[in-house]
Amino acid sequence: EPEVTQTPSHQVTQMGQEVILRCVPISNHLYFYWYRQILGQKVEFLVSFYNNEISEKSEIFDDQFSVERPDGSNFTLKIRSTKLEDSAMYFCASRPQSTNTEAFFGQGTRLTVV
Amino acid sequence: GENVEQHPSTLSVQEGDSAVIKCTYSDSASNYFPWYKQELGKRPQLIIDIRSNVGEKKDQRIAVTLNKTAKHFSLHITETQPEDSAVYFCAATANQAGTALIFGKGTTLSVSS
């Protein structure tokens, strides 16, 4: 069964450093997302991406965040200058062409900012 | 924007009992309502979903009901088993045109044998 894959599974970074989280969505899916989950809390929407541009973003997704689809398969989330409060599990998700269908989540990248 | 409230935050039941988790949403334009199960350290996985043109949906021991007028939807699990123990999240689309999901805070379900 096809699945969303994320790398790395765990990233430790120093405060102020840039990190790039990588995702390979399910092929032929067209909608891509990043969510984050601070330990023990709910899943929070960050950004959605469709047709090579951001289609929606939350208040959390400020200027320190950016997303990119550099080629036909990868979807990346960059955090420019990490803060302690960016420590969380980051999930990538993708959906097929139609909306109102299941969002498939990757296994997540645990980001720890020290 | 959309806001999703979920209750209770924790729920403990005996094996074989039923469990009910309730959610309310704020945006009347939301039209898709999935439920996800998340085991410790793992990704959220869809267990059932419902669209706004349907009032109820059932899949074996799991059912979801939707009341659009009251803007609430509920997850019902019957004949609970220890392997049902997990965190359950409800979600709603951010708005009618959007595809992002807004999640509730989660319910930790514990099923004891």
Burial A52-82 (b: 16+ CB within 10 A, else e): eeebbbbeebeeebebebeeeeebebebeeb
Percent of chain A with pLDDT over 90: 81
Quick check: A33 pLDDT over 80? Answer: yes
pLDDT at A84: 97
Q: Which residues contact A53 (CB under 8 A, 6 or more apart)?
A: none
- Give the nearest partner residue to A56 out of B49, B98, B103, using CB atoms: B98
pLDDT at B84: 98
Q: How far is A35 from chain B (nearest CA, A)?
A: 9
Quick check: B98 pLDDT over 80? Answer: no
Compute the distance between CA of residue B28 and CA of residue B68 in angstroms, rounded to an integer: 8
pLDDT digits (tens, 9 = 90+) for B18-53: 999 999 999 988 889 999 999 998 999 999 999 888
pLDDT digits (tens, 9 = 90+) for A65-99: 999 998 878 999 999 999 999 999 999 999 987 66
Whether A105 contacts A4, CB under 8 Å: yes
pLDDT at A101: 81
Tokens for A20, please give them: 């790039």
Percent of chain A with pLDDT over 70: 97
Q: B96 pLDDT band (50/70/90 cuts)?
A: low
| Residue B49 to residue A102, Cβ atoms within 8 A | yes
Whether A33 contacts A103, CB under 8 Å: yes
| Residue B34 to residue A45, Cβ atoms within 8 A | no
Closest CA to B111 of B89, B87, B82: B82
Q: What's the mean pLDDT when you consider all of chain A?
A: 93
| Residue B103 to residue A45, Cβ atoms within 8 A | yes
Quick check: A17 pLDDT over 80? Answer: yes
**Do the strands A19-24 and A88-95 form a parallel or antiparallel pair, or are they unpaired?**
unpaired
Q: What's the mean pLDDT when you consider all of chain B?
A: 93
Task: Determine the average pLDDT of the residues in B1-22.
Answer: 96
pLDDT at B95: 65
Weakest mean pLDDT among A18-22, A73-77, B12-16, B29-33: B29-33
Chains A and B: how many Cβ contacts under 8 Å? 58
Task: Write out the residues of chain A at the interface with chain B, using a CB-CB cutoff of 8 A.
Answer: 31, 33, 35, 41-45, 48, 50, 55-56, 58, 91, 95, 99-100, 102-103, 105-108
| Residue A103 to residue B101, Cβ atoms within 8 A | yes
What stretch of H or E contains A33?
A: strand A31-37
Q: Which residues contact B29 (CB under 8 A, 6 or more apart)?
A: B95, B96
